Structure 1
Amino acid sequence: MSAVRLWWSLVRHAHGGSRLPAVLAVTAFAVTTWVVLTVAGGVQAFQARAELPGAEEIYPFLSWVAVALLVVPTATLGAAAARLTVARRDVRLARLRLAGATSGQTTLIALLDAGAQALTGAVAGIVLDLAALPAVARLRFQGRTFDVAELRLGAGPVLVAVAAVLAVALLSCAVSLRRVSLTPLGVAQRVPQPGLSWARVLPVLLLGGAFVVAFNAGSVLLGLGTVVGALVLVGLLAGAFAVFNLVGPLLVSVLGRVVGARARSVETLLAGRRMSEDPRSVWRSVGGISLVTFVAGCLSVTPGMTQGGDPADHVLTDIGTGAALTLVISAVLAAVSTGVTQASRVLDSRERYRTLHLAGTDLAVLHAARARETWIPLVVTMGGAGALALLIVSPVLGLLRTAPVGVVWFLGCALAGAALVLLAARASRPLVEACASR
């Protein structure tokens, strides 16, 4: 049987809970595509307005700053969608390998799975973008609302966005397949994954050095032109995002070992073991909110930048509007990522929950362990995100004294994000009970 026919047979014979991961992945890809198209439409509109006589040239720069703040959370959600229920898929593919399927066949099956879900989600995202355009066009920038035609992308940019979503999905899937191709027996027997390397810390040092150099050479960079300064700022913001997303799993792994070593209860011991054994999964469940905390921290100085200016100066008003809009989009990404990942982690761990329950572990203990493996890394990673954001905006940190409302923004987003994660974890409790009882 060919790989395509085998994949189609597996899709057709998926029932009940087996189809839930696909639904979750399609939802995540749809939101990812919608955000990409919406942000790209905004950049297009500001670029077009900047070419009009007498237009302010700062708006394209500000739109690219927003892109820098959103590009990593968006890519993270797309990659998380491609890796949904990795454990279940790896086991299924490993069994196919042990039954005689070649590495090429299992790779093609997995890529077809990820590609079909990404393409379906991308189409749904395009429909969602078209439906939301009239509402987005009502936003006021530069003293007027948008025309829908300003925000609507042409066929070329839409195809590029769809191709980018597909590329993220296929690349993430291909990277996660290496373990199945190399050790199908180990995957089938659930051999633990190798630990994370401390080399992940190296980009932090490089980014810190780049930040110090850019800060000390600020006047030189501005002397080279606004475009150069903008590129440096956008690069630093995107780099800070990417670095935090890279170091996050390592931080969770270390935290899990510390929690497990100092555990004084079964619940805490289970939580620590889970955090250290699968830090990537734990990070994906809290990383979205941590990144929102980072965005909120970076934008906390915005009220201070816009305070005290001429009320007729719509640039200052628009900076505040853009900051609020960026936070809303980040929150939407985080909400979808959190809900999808929490459910996905339960499905990935169904055998673990079932085994523990059959061994006599009470459901209340399982729920308590899940709660601790969620809120412990959540508090630590959000603290790290806030500290990193304050480091980025440290040159203008004095603006928080002139406009304390920025602190309210920051704390409000952090508390709302934490509540969202805990709510998503609690909402998946019935799924835990169903998996444990089967």
Structure 2
Amino acid sequence: MIAALRLWAGLARRQGGDRLTTGLAVLAFTAVTWALLTTLGGVHAFVERARAEAEGFDELIYVVLSLTAAALILVPLVTLGGAAARLAVARRNARMAALRLAGATTGQVSAMAVAEALTQAVAGALLGAVLHGATLPLVALLPFQGRTFDVAELWVGGWAAIALPAVPLVALVSALAALRRVAISPLGVARRLPPKRLSWTRLVPLVAVGGVFAAAAGGMFQVELVFLLAILLVTLAGAMWVFTLVGPWLVSVIGRVAVRRAHSVPTLLAARRLVDDPKAAWRSVGGVALIAFVAGVLSVSPAMSATAEEADRYLGIDIATGTAVTLVIAALLAAVSTGVTQAGRALDSATEYRALHLAGTEVGTLHAARMRETALPLVVCVGGASVTSLLMITPYLDSLAQEPIGLVLFAGSVVVGCALVLAGTAASRRMVDRAARSLA
């Protein structure tokens, strides 16, 4: 093990070609850590205010709302962390195959891959912690409950002891999961295990969560208001988690339908890649789909702010402010996730691009296939997330009709998110060009 780590350290100093992937991974982990600490800082502030005021009800609502916002942001956080750990799997596999030919064991090359992911995660976590400390004065300017925060309120303190190790832990789990899908033979051949076909049973949890939310919204639970609010918000957060299970299955269905109806080479190539690895395709569009879900659910918050009683005016305004902050953080995570995932897929598919180009496929056809590979699941998944979120807020459509600014916020979030994904795909065109022409 020690010999493997020494070899990895020596190779890391000489792998100049991996600087791009390393930089993207560290950037992703930095964004994850900053968002995690900032979100926990907000929760900590409301918990401390609730303890200080000791009035109970209003303060408890703020704690529940902050925990829900944290739950909504946690899904994009885990998704981005996993994408960063899986970045450039193909290049890492090629290096592991070469080491196997040189006599290294499977355990040794696996240890090197895990060490690489953990090093990037630790570096990103430290940078994210520094960035969090630097932005605390700016975050403290946000007004809640009629006053701004003190920096001391937003300081996570001992919570950082749990939050910071969580980032390398996500990297470790994702790296081990990626290694399970690849076998390196003693002849130095990297063999990808075929992905399992996803089942429609992934829809069951979403239906169950939707049923609980509808029952709570319809007043079927005879509980105190604060507990009813907690049930509603927890089921919303749960629906977001469950949507990450449904998304890959939906992408696989899209791919199979597109394969049967493809009338052009780019569409056929895109559809086959969607069928081959729907989880990877979902990671490319999942961040924006989750943004659409969050924006749809929170589109009623301006109406809640406008219709609030004077005594609860601060609560209504704070809900609108919290909605904006949650969307901004989620949008930043989606933007970073899009760039990292698209770059990773371009690097991961470099061998395929070279083989297709050498077989006679034009580079323009490869670019068209990549755009369709992104656009097909993007339209369906974002549309599905939007419809799901709007269905979940059906009991509040009357309030939404009275204050349609929420719909404008929702539509703007969807348009900007889709533009980010398509821009991320277009930005990696040079990587595809280099991969396709490197052996031509």
TM range (shorter): over 0.9
Q: 1:165 aligns with which of 146, 157, 167?
A: 167
Structure 1 Cα separation of the partners of residues 252 and 202 of structure 2: 12
Q: 1:179 aligns with which of 173, 178, 181?
A: 181
Alignment of 1:172-321 (within 5 A): 172-181=174-183, 188-190=190-192, 192-215=194-217, 218-220=220-222, 222-223=223-224, 226=226, 228-310=227-309, 313-321=313-321
Structure 2 Cα separation of the partners of residues 183 and 415 of structure 1: 46
Structure 2 Cα separation of the partners of residues 60 and 135 of structure 1: 21
- Residues 1:33 and 2:33 aligned together: yes
Q: Over residues 96-142 of structure 1, what are the superposed CA-to-partner deviations in whole Å (9 max), with x where a residue is unaligned? A: 44654333323322221111111000001001101111111111111
Q: Counterpart in 2 of 1:145?
A: 148
- With 262-271 and 357-366 compared, the bigger mean Cα shift is at 357-366
Q: Counterpart in 1 of 2:390?
A: 390
TM-score (norm 2): 0.92
Alignment of 1:369-384 (within 5 A): 369-384=369-384
Structure 1 Cα separation of the partners of residues 188 and 270 of structure 2: 24
Provide the aligned length of Structure 1 versus Structure 2: 433
Structure 1 Cα separation of the partners of residues 129 and 370 of structure 2: 36
Paired residues of 2:251 and 2:377 also in contact (CA < 8 A): yes
Structure 2 Cα separation of the partners of residues 428 and 253 of structure 1: 24
Identity of aligned residues (%): 53
**What is the SS of the residue equivalent to 1:64?**
helix
**What is the SS of the residue equivalent to 2:32?**
helix
Paired residues of 1:114 and 1:170 also in contact (CA < 8 A): yes
Paired residues of 1:179 and 1:187 also in contact (CA < 8 A): no
What displacement does 1:205 show? Answer: 3.8
**What is the SS of the residue equivalent to 1:101?**
coil
Structure 1 Cα separation of the partners of residues 188 and 197 of structure 2: 15
Paired residues of 2:287 and 2:338 also in contact (CA < 8 A): yes
- With 167-176 and 193-202 compared, the bigger mean Cα shift is at 193-202
- With 384-393 and 52-61 compared, the bigger mean Cα shift is at 52-61
> Relative to 1, partners in 2 of residues 1:231 and 1:320: Cα closer, same or farther, differing over 3 Å?
closer
What displacement does 1:218 show? Answer: 4.2
Q: Counterpart in 1 of 2:12?
A: 11
Q: Which amino acid aligns with 2:303?
A: G
Alignment of 1:321-332 (within 5 A): 321-332=321-332
> Relative to 1, partners in 2 of residues 1:262 and 1:38: Cα closer, same or farther, differing over 3 Å?
same
Structure 1 Cα separation of the partners of residues 239 and 170 of structure 2: 20
Q: Counterpart in 1 of 2:53?
A: 53
Paired residues of 2:303 and 2:403 also in contact (CA < 8 A): yes
Structure 1 Cα separation of the partners of residues 140 and 182 of structure 2: 47
- With 187-196 and 137-146 compared, the bigger mean Cα shift is at 187-196
Q: Counterpart in 1 of 2:138?
A: 135
The unaligned stretches of length 5 or more in structure 1 are none
Structure 2 Cα separation of the partners of residues 417 and 337 of structure 1: 11
CA RMSD of aligned residues (A): 2.2
Alignment of 1:94-113 (within 5 A): 94-97=97-100, 100-113=103-116
